[in-house]
A = this chain, B = another copy of it.
Amino acid sequence: MDRLSEMEAFAAVVDQGGFTGAAQKLGISKSAVSKHVSSLESRLGARLLNRTTRRVNPTDIGLVYYDRARSVLNAALQADAAVQGMQAEPTGTLQILAPSDYGACVLAPMVARYLEENPGVDVNLVLGHDLAEATRSDIDLSISLGAKPDSSLRSHKLDTVTRMLVASPAYLDRRGRPSRIEDLAQHVLLHQLESGNDPAWTLVSASGEARVVRTRGRLATNSGSCLKDSAIAGMGIAFLPDFLVSEAVARGQLQHAMPGLPAQTAPLFVAHAPSNGSLPRVRSFVQFLLDSYVEEPSVSDRAIA
Binding site for B on A (CB under 8 A): 1-5, 7, 44-46, 60-61, 64-65, 68-69, 71-72, 75-76, 78-80, 82-84, 86-87, 277-278, 283
Task: Collect the chain B residues with CB atoms within 8 Å of residue A283's CB.
Answer: 60
Of the candidates B2, B45, B76, B86, the one whose C-beta lies within 8 Å of that of A46 is: B86
On whether the beta carbons of B82 and A75 are closer than 8 Å, the reply is no
Task: Report the bound CA distance from A102 to B284 in whole Å.
Answer: 72
On whether the beta carbons of B277 and A87 are closer than 8 Å, the reply is no
Q: With contacts A64-B86, A71-B79 known, what are 16 further pairs, Cβ within 8 A?
A: A3-B5, A4-B4, A44-B83, A46-B83, A46-B86, A60-B86, A60-B277, A60-B283, A61-B83, A61-B87, A64-B82, A68-B82, A69-B79, A72-B72, A72-B75, A72-B79
Task: Collect the chain B residues with CB atoms within 8 Å of residue A83's CB.
Answer: 44-46, 61, 64-65
Task: Report the bound CA distance from A44 to B83 in whole Å.
Answer: 7
Task: Collect the chain B residues with CB atoms within 8 Å of residue A72's CB.
Answer: 72, 75-76, 79
Taking each of A1, A46, A60, A283, which has the highest tally of chain B beta carbons within 10 Å of its own beta carbon? A60
Task: Report the bound CA distance from A12 to B269 in whole Å.
Answer: 31
- Quick one: closest B residue to A68, CB to CB? B79
Task: Collect the chain B residues with CB atoms within 8 Å of residue A69's CB.
Answer: 79
On whether the beta carbons of A64 and B3 are closer than 8 Å, the reply is no
